[in-house]
Amino acid sequence: MTLLNEKQSPLARFVARDPNLFRLIIMLVAVFAVMGALRPTIFLRPSNLVSMAKQFPEYGIMAIGISICMITGGIDLAVVGTANLAAITTARFLIASVPKGSPGGYTLSMILMGILIALTVGALCGALSGWLISRFRIPPILATLGTHQLFTGLAIVITEGRPVSGLPILFSRLGNKTLAGFLPVPLLLYALAAIIIGIMLSKTRFGKQVYLVGTNATAARFAGLNVKNIIMRTYVTSGMLASLSGLIMMARVNSAKADYGASYTLQCVLIAVLGGVNPDGGFGTVGGVTVAVVILQLLSSGLNMFENVSNFYRDVIWGGVLITVLITNHYLTEHKRRKALKSASEGCGAPWGNLGGVAPPGST
């Protein structure tokens, strides 16, 4: 544990408190500077920056959901399936309940009802995953892979594999609206979700319990915590965040389909790991995840500016980055562990420590 010196500068205290976040910020500035220098007329265009701010929230919110599950020592691979199922359910409801020519007030009330339906579907999907993990102790990666296939299959059955279109135009307008010319609604929704989850993890009793479960679930049980309930609540939260992402996707394309965002799962895992979330559980912050989301979006948008870089290489790049980050984190963790052991051994001094003049057993 790093001790903070009050005489240090604010920057030094920030670096000591969260070195991973500091490294991410340096990386963010470097990526932005490089992309801006390579394509200044395109990358730094205000319309391009606003476009990026509209794109990352839909998978960024999923990444937050995956991250809180990873902090408990699990993972939620069902976020994309949950998002699409929630979006399809809401789309069907809106199409059935809002005929063409409906007054704006009535349409808005139905949209609010549809949002509640989506959040409910997301909570139920998350509850199923959490129940399988906590009740039957199925490994999270297998349980959520199975529920992802289940939710995607249900979505295909409901839609027969076709997109659900014909949504009220007001829904798309609200979901794609830009306030003051530079604040897209999806960005505001991401900020709201990040603030709520960040406060939940850092300031509430439940957040501390989430970290304790991820650090040592057995110790958490002996401490009297209801580990099953904590896991359930964590996956319900992830499901609700996924459903919010589904609504953002639905507003962007003005339709819903079972296979939208199929590549987001890998990106979300990459964001969580890049953001400093420990895959073994016990550590991670929403701040780190947020910076990692922005870095990934800058890289993605920057690659789109180069005609000779095919989109087919993007998954290869993401996979390579994920492996690199995992290896780097492994060596950093090992370095910290060895440094801590060295400090502990130096602090103990002789093998028997200072026994106040008492000879160790077996000595003469």
Mean pLDDT of 219-246: 97
CA distance 97 to 36: 47
Q: Which residue has the higher pLDDT, 255 or 303?
A: 255
pLDDT (tens digit per residue) in 209-218: 999 999 999 9
Residue from 94, 257, 58 nearest 175 by CA:
58
pLDDT at residue 347 in the model = 67
pLDDT at residue 175 in the model = 94
pLDDT at residue 339 in the model = 84
Mean pLDDT of 95-112: 93
Matching CATH number, 52-305+312-328, of 1.20.1070, 3.30.70, 1.10.3470, 1.20.1250: 1.10.3470
Q: How confident is the model at residue 179 (pLDDT cuts 50, 70, 90)?
A: very high
Taken as a whole, the chain contains a residue count of: 364
Mean pLDDT of 131-137: 97
Sign of CA dihedral 195, 86, 248, 152: positive
Average of per-residue pLDDT values in the chain = 90
CA distance 74 to 37: 40
pLDDT (tens digit per residue) in 7-61: 677 777 877 788 888 988 998 999 999 999 998 999 999 999 999 999 999 999 9
User: How many CB atoms lie under 10 A from the CB of residue 238?
Assistant: 32
CA distances from 355 to 172, 272, 301, 352 (A): 74, 47, 63, 7
What is the distance of C-alpha 80 from the center of its chain?
A: 12
Spatial contact of 350 and 356, defined as CB atoms under 8 Å apart: no
Q: Which residue has the higher pLDDT, 321 or 183?
A: 183
pLDDT (tens digit per residue) in 32-41: 999 999 989 9
Residue 264 carries which DSSP code? H
Q: What is the CA radius of gyration of the chain?
A: 24
Residue 310 carries which DSSP code? -
Mean pLDDT of 117-133: 98
CA distances from 60 to 55, 186, 299, 306 (A): 9, 10, 14, 24
pTM of the model: 0.90
28 burial level (CB within 10 Å; 0-12, 13-18, 19+): middle
Among 82-86, 181-185, 223-227, 360-364, which is the least confidently predicted range? 360-364
